[in-house]
Amino acid sequence: PLFAMKGKKENTLRILDATNNQLPQDRESLFWMNVKAIPSMDKSKLTENTLQLAIISRIKLYYRPAKLALPPDQAAEKLRFRRSANSLTLINPTPYYLTVTELNAGTRVLENALVPPMGESTVKLPSDAGSNITYRTINDYGALTPKMTGVME
């Protein structure tokens, strides 16, 4: 453990760049932070039946270079879609990670996707899915963007 905490207290973690400034400067970089909270055991209740839950939080940490040309709020509308057999490829030509949610092809609901900058992500596509795409993304503040539309190439 990094530290032990008493109840109703808080602590701060300082995140440092361990890459020696070797991160790409033309796109975002993504790191995952896994935090596990294990409650302490009340020794006075050792003889009683108790339920104790350990909570694991997985948090995305983004590094965003200062001089990216496209504003982040314009990235989601640049997303493109390509159909091939039973899959849909989401193509992201922007320097930002896009978390795509509420993804639909016609009336079919598709799985969510995390599309890397200047990269692609693939989701399963039912054979009876329509060609009109609707989707939302999660913005920098954790809020959903307005519903957007796209067409499969």
What CATH number corresponds to the domain at position 96?
Answer: 2.60.40.10
| pLDDT tens per residue across span 82-135 | 999 899 999 999 999 999 999 999 999 999 999 999 999 999 999 999 899 999
Q: What is the C-alpha to C-alpha distance for residues 130 and 80, in angstroms, rounded to an integer? A: 15
Contacts of 39 (CB under 8 A, 6+ apart): 52, 53, 54
- Residue 126 domain-assigned? yes
Show the domain range for 99.
Answer: 72-151
pTM flag (> 0.95): no
123: how many CB neighbours lie within 10 A of its CB? 16
Phi-psi region for residue 90, left (φ > 0), alpha (ψ -120 to 50) or beta? Answer: beta
What percent of the chain clears pLDDT 90, i.e. is strictly above it?
Answer: 69
Q: What is the pLDDT of residue 28?
A: 98
Q: Look at the chain and report how many structural domains it folds into.
A: 1
- Residue 12 domain-assigned? no
Bridge-based pairing of strands 132-137 and 98-105 is antiparallel
